[in-house]
Amino acid sequence: MPSSSRRLPPLNGLRVFEVVARHLNFRLAAEEIGVTQGAVAQLIRGLEAELGMKLFLRRPQGLEPTEAGQQYAARIRRAFDLITEATRELRAEPQRLTISVTPSLASRWLIPRLPDFTAAHPTIDLRIVATDRLSNFETDDVDLAVRLGQSPFGPGLNAELLHEQTIIAIGSPLLIEKLGDPGDPGNFARYPLLHDAHGFWPAFLGKAFPASVPASGQNVRFNQTSLAVEAAIAGQGLALASLFLVADDIASGRLARALAAELPVEAGFHIVFPRKPRHPGPVEEVCRWLVEAAAGNRPAHGAASPRPDTHRE
């Protein structure tokens, strides 16, 4: 007979506690788990009674973890990670990996290249999270991220340069044909300028027109580069974007370089991941594939060869 049995809190209560600790919100936790908000609150009360201590403080503005609750949540999360990893290895399921990227990088570069990745790595299920928000590798269930910036990105993180960033001006070839060469100051004022959140236009125009910046046309503003690029493809004006992100569009003829100037930017695209990743093998494989894809930067499937008249050097 065993000398004693382990007295553990109910597994359901621990699972609910881990989810609540991530969201600090009973409603969001209930939505993730698929139960009622009242059931979540009841399980948390039961766990606190079992442990004989408060895990959360109920504030008017929301939940706040106690110091004990915060420490307990970190350890419980690691325990669930171990259970998940053990179960995955037992079932020999494909390795699931989550990568966080900006929406512009996802839509303009990564997603068109995913067929190459899935063909080369059939045992890795890649989950793409497109967000401008900085990832927390401990709480967001993210394994690696691609972000604009300069190294270092934080303690305990590795950062590898994926690609430098060079800003160019782009527009629809049909719009350029209609309104004339935007490099001619007389024509430039006829073009609406499509802005994004980065605000590169003043610096870029200083490079493009060093003697005197001509008057510009209407200004249209977007909160994401990908939206400005889509508007440029639709012929709504000129946009600025990293050459790295729009190479496929230029190659296919959807876009053309509108001005010869280039604006190098110190903040480049970096692959960022914890120094001690949860899944070191798959993280290494994904990083290697990203670097190789960026180094070649070959057009994605379906992209045509560059047209001789789509580049304005």
Q: Which two tokens stand for residue 103?
A: 């929406």
201 pLDDT more than 70: yes
More confident: 228 or 135:
228
- What does the pLDDT read at residue 125? 87
The span from the CA of 92 to the CA of 89, in Å, is: 5
Q: Is 129 exposed, middle or buried (0-12, 13-18, 19+ CB in 10 A)?
A: middle
- Does the structure show a pLDDT above 90 at 296? no
- 215 pLDDT above the threshold of 70: yes
CB 147 within 8 A of CB 269: yes
Share of the chain above pLDDT 90, in %: 52
pTM: 0.62
pLDDT reported for residue 309: 33
In this predicted structure, what is the pLDDT of residue 130? 87
Q: Distance between CA 188 and CA 173 in Å, rounded?
A: 15
d(CA 236, CA 217): 12
Residue given tokens 């948390």 in the structure block: 44
Between CA 239 and CA 255 the distance in angstroms is: 10
Average pLDDT along the chain: 86
Q: What per-residue confidence (pLDDT) applies to 303?
A: 40
Strand partners, 257: 170
Report CA-CA distances (Å) from 42 to 3, 19, 32, 47, 183. Answer: 33, 14, 16, 9, 67
Chain centroid to CA 19: how far?
22
pLDDT 10s digits, 103-124: 889 999 999 999 999 898 888 8
On whether the CB atoms of residues 180 and 238 are closer than 8 A, the answer is: no
> What is the per-residue pLDDT across 243-292, written as a single tens digit (0 to 9) for each?
999 999 999 999 999 999 999 998 889 998 888 888 888 889 999 999 99
Q: Which amino acid is at 60?
A: P
Question: Where does the pLDDT of residue 3 fall: very low under 50, low under 70, confident under 90, or very high at 90 and above?
Answer: very low
Tokens standing for residue 159: 């950062």
Determine the average pLDDT of the residues in 157-169. Answer: 91
Model pLDDT, residue 94: 61
